[in-house]
Structures are given as structure tokens and as C-alpha cells.
């Protein structure tokens, strides 16, 4: 018998053949990357109409697929920039019945929304009234009224609340008194400083008065004779806002025949303006 040699041809995967073919034919692969589309108005009229037609067809296709896959009633209304109407509906009764159903559901939702809002505000008003009643009752109890219905625990809690309130009131009172005392101390310090300044000015005036008195006692008389015993020579010196009045008095020597003595200088009053 002749030997039979059978050759079994197995299909070669494309993943194995592709690199070999590429290397053999020295081909280059180019990867095409689609850029991001900018969503903005298309200025070119022709391009805009073409894009509108393509996008409209895609939109209606997606609406039809949504209705089939999800068993939903879908309606699409579309107006072009020229005012032309395009619509799609998968309802057996057409777009009109779908719009009527939409209007009924919309009105029902609005009515339910208004009713829910009214119930919410009604509950909110009731809550506020109850809160006001509780506050009024608590206020009466703090004033010592309506205590007959309270137990020992409630009375103890009310007593602690009053003690806490009294403690806070005393703290506020003490702090207010401390603030007032500090304010009085500040004012007292200001008055003391003003008093010190006034004493300094009085000392300066007193020194100037002594200087003027010494200067007048050391000067000879201008005329040599005093005509009247009761005459007074007044000398006024002003230092800023302070007025010093000096009175020069001399006794009458002509009638007694005595020799005139040196004049004596004294100051009767000091006026501080």
C-alpha cells in the first residue's frame, strides 16, 4: 500500500497574519482621530441646512429606538429656522392625543404642587403656634404661675433654670459695674492730669509775680513824689490765658511829715481764664 500523507490546513488567525503582512509589504498604519466638535451656530447656510437634516434624522431615529426598547410613548416637535414643523410620535392616536395627555398631566402636577405647598404651610403654622404656646407657658412658670400641674422633677428643673438665669444676670450686672468703674477711673485720671497742669501754670504765674515784685522794688520812682495816699498803681501782667493783677500801694507821707518808705508790692487776686 502506498503511504498517504495528509496535510491538514488550519486557519491562521488574523492577529498572526497582520503583522507579517505589514512587515512583508512595508505598509504603514495611520490612525484617524476624530476631533471634538465645537457646538456653536453654523454661519454657512448650506452647511447649516445639511447639518439640520442629518441631526433631525438622528434625533427621530433615537426617539423611535427609545419607544421600541423601553415601550414608551415618545413625541418630538421640531421647528426649523425657517418655521417649518417636523414631528414624530410613536403613539397610535397621533401627536394630538399625546399633547392632550401631556397637558392633563401637567395641570395635575401643578394642582398637586399647590395642594402640597398649602399643606406644608398649614403644618408650619401649626408648629409655630405650638412653639408659641410652649414659650408662653414656660414664661408663666418662670414667673411662678401655673405651677399646680408640675411634679417634683419639673419644679427642680425650673428652679435650676431660675438659678442659672439669676447667675447670668448677676454676671452681666457685675461686668457692667466694672466697666463703669473703669470709665470713672479714666475720667478721674484725666481730671487729675488737668489739675496737675493747672498747678504748674499757677506756680509759673507765682514765680513771674515774685519776679515782677522784685523788679519793681529794685527800681526808683519815676516822679519821686506820690500825690495821694489812697492812690493805687495797678500793674497787670498777662501770661497766655492767665491774668495777674498787682497793686502797688503807698501811704500818705506829706501830711505826717515822715520820709517816704520804699513802696510795697502785693497781689490782690489772680484770675485764671
pLDDT in tens, 220-265: 444 443 333 334 434 444 443 344 444 444 444 444 444 445 444 4
Per-residue model confidence (pLDDT) at position 263:
45
Write out pLDDT tens, residues 25-71: 444 444 455 667 778 888 898 999 999 999 999 999 999 999 999 98
- Banded model confidence at residue 21, pLDDT cuts 50, 70, 90: very low
d(CA 53, CA 45): 12
What is the structure's pLDDT at 30? 41
Confidence of residue 219 (pLDDT cuts 50, 70, 90): low
Residue ranges covered by each domain of the chain: 45-89, 91-146
- On average, the pLDDT of the chain sits at 74
* Residue partners of 268: CB distance under 8 A and separation at least 6: 245, 247
What CATH number is given for 45-89 in this structure?
Answer: 3.40.1810.10
Report the candidate in 203, 193, 272 with the shortest Cα–Cα distance to residue 240: 272
- Cα separations in angstroms, 128 against 112, 119, 146, 175: 24, 14, 22, 36
103-125: pLDDT as tens digits: 888 887 777 777 788 888 898 99
Q: How high is the pLDDT of residue 245?
A: 47
CA–CA gap between residue 188 and residue 153 (Å, rounded): 52
Q: Over pLDDT 90: what percentage of the chain?
A: 34
Residue 8 clears pLDDT 70, i.e. is over it? no
Examine the pLDDT at 80 and tell me if it is beyond 80.
yes
Which has the higher per-residue pLDDT, 231 or 12?
A: 12
- Write the burial class of residue 266 (CB in 10 Å: 0-12 exposed, 13-18 middle, 19+ buried): exposed
Beta carbons of 260 and 226 less than 8 angstroms apart: yes
- Per-residue pLDDT, averaged over 168-182, amounts to 93
Amino acid at each position: 500500500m502506498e503511504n498517504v500523507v495528509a496535510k491538514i490546513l488550519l486557519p491562521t488567525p488574523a492577529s498572526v497574519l497582520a503583522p507579517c503582512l505589514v512587515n512583508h509589504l512595508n505598509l504603514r498604519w495611520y490612525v484617524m482621530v476624530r476631533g471634538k466638535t465645537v457646538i456653536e451656530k453654523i454661519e454657512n447656510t448650506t452647511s447649516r441646512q445639511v447639518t439640520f437634516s442629518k441631526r433631525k434624522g438622528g434625533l427621530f431615529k433615537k426617539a423611535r429606538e427609545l419607544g421600541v426598547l423601553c415601550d414608551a410613548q415618545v413625541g418630538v416637535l421640531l421647528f426649523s429656522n425657517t418655521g417649518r414643523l417636523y414631528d414624530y410620535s410613536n403613539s397610535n392616536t397621533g401627536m394630538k392625543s399625546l399633547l392632550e395627555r401631556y397637558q392633563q398631566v401637567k395641570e395635575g402636577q401643578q394642582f398637586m404642587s399647590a395642594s402640597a405647598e398649602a399643606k406644608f404651610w398649614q403644618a408650619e403654622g401649626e408648629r409655630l403656634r405650638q412653639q408659641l404656646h410652649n414659650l408662653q407657658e414656660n414664661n408663666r412658670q418662670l414667673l411662678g404661675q401655673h405651677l399646680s400641674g408640675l411634679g417634683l422633677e419639673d419644679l427642680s428643673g425650673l428652679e435650676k433654670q431660675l438659678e442659672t438665669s439669676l447667675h447670668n444676670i448677676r454676671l452681666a450686672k457685675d461686668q457692667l459695674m466694672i466697666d463703669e468703674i473703669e470709665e470713672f477711673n479714666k475720667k478721674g485720671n484725666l481730671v487729675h492730669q488737668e489739675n496737675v497742669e493747672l498747678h504748674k501754670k499757677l506756680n509759673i504765674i507765682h514765680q513771674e509775680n515774685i519776679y515782677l515784685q522784685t523788679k519793681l522794688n529794685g527800681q526808683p520812682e519815676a516822679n519821686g513824689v506820690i500825690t495821694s495816699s489812697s492812690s493805687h498803681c495797678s500793674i497787670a501782667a498777662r501770661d497766655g490765658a492767665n491774668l495777674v493783677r498787682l497793686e502797688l500801694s503807698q501811704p500818705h507821707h506829706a501830711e505826717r511829715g515822715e520820709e517816704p518808705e520804699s513802696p510795697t508790692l502785693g497781689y490782690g487776686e489772680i484770675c485764671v481764664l
